[in-house]
Amino acid sequence: MPIPEPSVEMALHEALSVDLKPFNTFGLSCIAERVLTATAEDDVRDAVGTVAANEALSLVLGGGSNLLFTQERLTGTVLHINLLGKHVVSETDDAVVVEAAAGEPWHPFVLWTLENGWGGLENLSLIPGNVGTTPVQNVGAYGVETKDVCTEVRFVERGTGAVHTFSAADCAFGYRDSVFKGPWRNRAVITAVRFHLTKRNHTLKTHYGSVDAELEAAGIQPSPQSISDAVVRIRRSKLPDPAELGNSGSFFKNPTVSAEEYARLRALKSDAPGYPQADGRVKLAAGWLIEQAGWKGYRRGDAGVHAKQALVLVNYGRATGPEIWQLAQDVVADVHAKFGVSLEPEVNLVGGGL
């Protein structure tokens, strides 16, 4: 009897009618028709490598930390990326290049680099989600963005199964942006990311937010480890822990407006924060606008605006995706009515919305 060809199901784990509640940090219930779990790059190629397989796919799910299910059911197939592993690719006396598989949880990966004495990721401590998501939106915090440390992104092209390696320049990183949100949106499944880290002569960034003050208060010299500890303390004081209170971090992007629009806003509110950009435009603080519009700490059922950081929407337990999405739209409409500024979601809307 001929030995059967290995089928997709033999490598990919398949499950039907799965509630994705444990797989999104908002803690929203959403019943997926079919979930395939990939643990190796070949699984990803099996799952998206043909046009038919790719067309069946409704979502590629990583750490689920930056998405909102706007509906309570999801038809089609969800591909869950569970690729694990991390290793040193190359090193010199000064620096090291490390690679992590897309499914590695981000913060434990950051801690691993710090335990090895490597600098570069400390400002990005305690960010929820997995390694594979960080390049997509060029995750950033406390003055450091993924683009400052990422050297390469490896991904499988949907529809063909081709494996590509993009340099940081190819990724065209911008504020909460990259080619994976532009021309490659819905066309790439990231499988691994490489980072360039320092072994000595670290480039330490402490001037953003309250990192300096936090270090001074504790009487500690800046180092990758002490900066990480400070960032962890700051984030814990402002941002809710998804394990305790469902959320997806910043729900909206900080909007960028023209200098004239900023002047108009300052005429309304003289203390409106604005951060001038290289191109002459001004980045506003969405959290400030939402707070000034009166939404900070607002709660409707189990959907709310976080009491300590208005940029974060929260699920107190039983909110549904459509309820969070309705609240988000109400906040957008009100901020626009009061300040003439349009807020855009930073999280990915799964199930439609805009």
Question: Is 261 one of the catalytic residues?
Answer: no
* Options 24-32, 33-41, 96-104, 288-296: segment touching ligand EPU (CB under 6 A): 288-296
Contact flag: residue 135 with ligand EPU (CB under 6 A):
no
Cβ count near 129 (within 10 Å): 23
- Candidates 34, 45, 80, 296: give the one binding ligand EPU (CB under 6 A): 296
Contact flag: residue 45 with ligand EPU (CB under 6 A):
no
Tell me how far apart the terminal alpha carbons of the chain are, to the nearest angstrom: 54
Contact flag: residue 147 with ligand EPU (CB under 6 A):
no
- Candidates 346, 348, 349, 353: give the one binding ligand EPU (CB under 6 A): 346
Residues 193-212 that bind ligand EPU (CB under 6 A): 209
Contact flag: residue 253 with ligand EPU (CB under 6 A):
yes
With tokens 């699920």, the residue in question is 315
Question: Is 176 one of the catalytic residues?
Answer: yes
Contact flag: residue 141 with ligand EPU (CB under 6 A):
yes
Tell me the residue length of the chain: 354
Contact flag: residue 294 with ligand EPU (CB under 6 A):
no
Q: Work out how close the CB of 277 gets to ligand EPU at its nearest, in angstroms, rounded to a whole number.
A: 13
Question: Is 235 one of the catalytic residues?
Answer: no
As to burial, measured by CB atoms within 10 angstroms (0-12 exposed, 13-18 middle, 19+ buried), residue 240 is: buried
Structure token pair of residue 342: 């349009």
H helix intervals, 72-152: 106-115
Q: How many residues bind ligand EPU (CB under 6 A)?
A: 18
How distant, in Å, are the alpha carbons of 2, 173, 314, 321, 353 from that of 180? 43, 9, 26, 24, 20
The one catalytic residue among 34, 154, 176, 194:
176
Contact flag: residue 311 with ligand EPU (CB under 6 A):
yes
* Burial 333-353, CB ≥16 within 10 A → b, else e: ebbeeebebebebbbbbbbeb
* Options 32-40, 76-84, 161-169, 309-317: segment touching ligand EPU (CB under 6 A): 309-317
d(CA 305, CA 324): 10
Closest CA to 8 of 44, 36, 46, 55: 46
Looking at the Cβ atoms of 59 and 231, the one nearer to ligand EPU is 231
- Candidates 72, 212, 291, 323: give the one binding ligand EPU (CB under 6 A): 291
- Candidates 76, 108, 273, 317: give the one binding ligand EPU (CB under 6 A): 273
Looking at the Cβ atoms of 186 and 237, the one nearer to ligand EPU is 237
d(CA 247, CA 212): 27
Helix axes 224-238, 106-115, angle to 10 degrees: 150
Query: Contact positions toward ligand EPU, by CB under 6 A?
Result: 141-142, 209, 239, 249-250, 253-254, 273, 285, 287-288, 291, 296, 309-311, 346
Positions marked active-site: 176, 250, 346
